[in-house]
Amino acid sequence: MFATSSRAPRQPDLTNLVPYGDTLDDGKVQLSFTLPVPAGPEAREAARRLMLGMGLKEPSIVSMEAVGTSMSFFIGYGSIVRGVDFTDLHVPKSEYEAMDMEGVDGFVAEHFDRPLVVVGACTGTDAHTVGIDAILNMKGYNGHYGLERYKMFRAVNMGAQVPVETLVARAIAENADAILVSQVVTQKNLHIMTLTSLVETLEAEGVRDRFVVVVGGPRITHDLATELGFDAGFGPGSYAEDVGAYVAQELLRRREARARLAEEGFLSDDPASGSREA
């Protein structure tokens, strides 16, 4: 019979947070990368020294594979010595209360007298619809249904390679509440130029404040999105309920803010002077 211990498990040092490999606080990490040199002893040593230069302790190359005749692919292990102070991290993120599909529909039904209208697309030359389809299409992604299946949303999916001018015109025509943009192609920061173009077009048309404008993609963060002029950004691991909850709650915040300003005499209560009213 094995003896059991009542001792509480050791907790990680959050002021010097390092990866967990085999044991707590051992700092073990796995890296993979390609070098533009043929596989061989020199390439292996070059890879090991690169890991040393990254500050990894006792690096080891456990796999080297030739990639054609002029490149080599490596997998290496090492230990991170210097961690990060987790207690001092403050990451900008979209402010909203997380809800499931039923919760989002219930929230919209409670606070609005109609379904919310969202228009989405992959803009510019981006031909990848996987992101926008995951959020809008009825089938959704990974067991999370898209906004087309929601009772209190009307989703217009314009697909891929949509010029920003066309997207803005459709959003205006649909009297949309929100514009959703997905950017998957990010080589040489192409997504930055495309996203900047959308915000500039909205501002040039004088309708930027009329919509909640959201962007998502593999290299999108909330910080980047707001820096580019968007209201919120959603990166990997986001689903339709995240976007739907944010859009609904942001629309309610705006409506309440406008009501307060109008009550105080600082703003006209004419719906044409701002975003669409419920």
Kindly list the catalytic residues. 139
Q: Which amino acid is at 21?
A: G
Beta carbons of 233 and 180 less than 8 angstroms apart: no
First and final C-alpha spacing in the chain:
67
In 3D space, the residue among 201, 114, 202, 196 whose CA is nearest the CA of residue 154 turns out to be: 114
DSSP, res 71: E
Phi, psi of 118 (to 5 degrees): -125, 135
Tokens of 232: 């919120």
Question: In Å, how far from its chain's centre is CA 147?
Answer: 17
Residue positions counted in the chain: 278
